């Protein structure tokens, strides 16, 4: 586990050379990669979403492709196409950008649902099917999708089935004053991303992904995870709670979070650390709660404060 944590520290420290003041968010992005999950980033333009994706790819020596989603984007522009080769007399597959190891799906909610769904098979099955032929995707494989929370005109909201495919929902937010000053200073002559090198071999990272699965999860912790997720289905402010895929997401992310924290076992604090980013985008708040401006994050905070932690003693009030 120490070797896994060392790999994580190398990547986090390298990415922090470019993304300043966002240690927790970078850690969670790495948790998603170690858990073989995907990331949805809902944030305003210009806070570093693209830079984060590129930094992770360069730190791991992974191939990187960016897909700019627009209303006229076709599914074949994502997955690739088969083209007839007159010389050989056969159709040849020309891979699309989704076949890279780190894929940035920029402003994913601007594409039509048909194009959005082209990502579903790639994200869940790690393969694409073109003209009846299935092609595997490389390892490691990460889709980092972004959407703008401000401009809703001309957008197509992601369906619940696709939202459920993302392991984490993150937001970088604006940097603090001193952090922003550091950003300006660091980019006075050149962008730090241009000098960012690889710090971990891809094979070493794949071993870390497998090692995460061996992190011990006590049956009481497993029951705690199921209780937290189950509480989202019975909460008065929630119309639709998290699915069993949400439970599995919390389970896997908790293992990865424990591993990068130099532990080979999961604690309730690990579950609490990942519960909100893993579950918030899977919940639908009912109309009455929306009128009161209740957010998914607020509901999850309430649930985490109410569900008993394993081993805790009840306090008389």
pLDDT band at 151 (very low <50, low <70, confident <90, very high): low
**The domain at 2-210 falls in which architecture?**
3-Layer(aba) Sandwich (3.40)
Cα(223)–Cα(91) distance, integer angstroms: 52
The class (CATH top level) of 213-306 is mainly alpha
pLDDT at residue 317, as a whole number: 47
Do the strands 90-95 and 133-136 form a parallel or antiparallel pair, or are they unpaired? Answer: unpaired
pLDDT at residue 143, as a whole number: 92
Give percent above pLDDT 70 in the chain: 96
Higher per-residue pLDDT: 138 or 160: 138
Average pLDDT over residues 27-47: 90
Average pLDDT over residues 119-131: 84
Q: Please report, for the chain, the start and end positions of each structural domain, with discontinuous segments joined by +.
A: 2-210, 213-306
Average pLDDT over residues 212-231: 94
pLDDT band at 45 (very low <50, low <70, confident <90, very high): confident
pLDDT tens across 62-90, in order?
Answer: 999 999 988 888 888 998 888 888 888 88
DSSP 3-state of 4: helix
Average pLDDT over residues 188-200: 86
Is the whole-model pTM more than 0.85? yes
Average pLDDT over residues 240-261: 93
CA-wise closest residue to 299 among 317, 278, 269, 276: 276
CA distances from 14 to 6, 226, 241 (A): 12, 35, 37
Q: Is the pLDDT of residue 139 over 80?
A: yes
pLDDT at residue 260, as a whole number: 93
pLDDT at residue 313, as a whole number: 55
pLDDT averaged over the chain? 88
pLDDT tens across 269-284, in order?
Answer: 999 999 999 999 999 8
DSSP 3-state of 55: helix
Average pLDDT over residues 286-291: 88
Average pLDDT over residues 89-100: 87
Average pLDDT over residues 143-171: 80
49-53, 156-160, 201-205: least confidently modelled range = 156-160
Residue 251 in tokens: 């389970």
pLDDT band at 259 (very low <50, low <70, confident <90, very high): very high
Average pLDDT over residues 46-52: 87
CA distances from 49 to 15, 126, 254 (A): 12, 23, 23
pLDDT band at 250 (very low <50, low <70, confident <90, very high): very high
pLDDT at residue 33, as a whole number: 92
pLDDT at residue 59, as a whole number: 92
Cα(257)–Cα(263) distance, integer angstroms: 9
Residue 210 in tokens: 């497998």
């Amino acid at each position: 586990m120490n070797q896994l944590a060392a790999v994580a520290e190398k990547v986090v420290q390298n990415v922090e050379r470019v993304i300043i003041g966002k240690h927790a968010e970078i850690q969670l992005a790495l948790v998603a990669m170690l858990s073989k999950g995907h990331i949805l980033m809902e944030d305003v333009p210009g806070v570093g979403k693209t830079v984060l994706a590129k930094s992770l790819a360069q730190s791991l020596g992974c191939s990187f492709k960016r897909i700019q989603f627009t209303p006229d984007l076709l599914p074949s522009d994502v997955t690739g196409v088969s083209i007839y080769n007159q010389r050989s007399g056969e159709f040849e597959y020309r891979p699309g950008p989704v076949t890279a190891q780190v894929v940035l799906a920029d402003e994913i909610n601007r594409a039509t649902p048909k194009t959005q769904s082209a990502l579903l098979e790639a994200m869940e099955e790690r393969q694409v099917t073109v003209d009846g032929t299935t092609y595997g995707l490389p390892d490691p494989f990460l889709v980092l999708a972004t959407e703008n929370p401000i401009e809703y005109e001309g957008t197509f909201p992601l369906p619940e089935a696709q939202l459920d495919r993302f392991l984490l929902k993150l937001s970088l937010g604006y940097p603090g004053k001193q952090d922003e000053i550091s950003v300006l200073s660091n980019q006075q002559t050149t962008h730090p991303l241009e000098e960012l090198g690889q710090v971990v071999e891809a094979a070493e990272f794949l071993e870390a992904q497998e090692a995460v699965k061996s992190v011990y999860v006590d049956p009481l912790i497993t029951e705690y995870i199921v209780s937290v997720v189950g509480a989202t289905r019975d909460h008065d402010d929630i119309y639709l709670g998290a699915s069993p895929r949400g439970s599995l997401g919390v389970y896997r992310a908790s293992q990865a979070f424990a591993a990068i924290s130099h532990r080979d076992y999961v604690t309730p604090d690990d579950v609490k650390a990942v519960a909100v980013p893993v579950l918030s985008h899977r919940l639908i708040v009912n109309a009455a709660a929306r009128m009161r401006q209740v957010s998914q994050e607020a509901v999850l905070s309430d649930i985490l404060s109410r569900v008993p932690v394993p081993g805790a003693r009840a306090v008389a009030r």
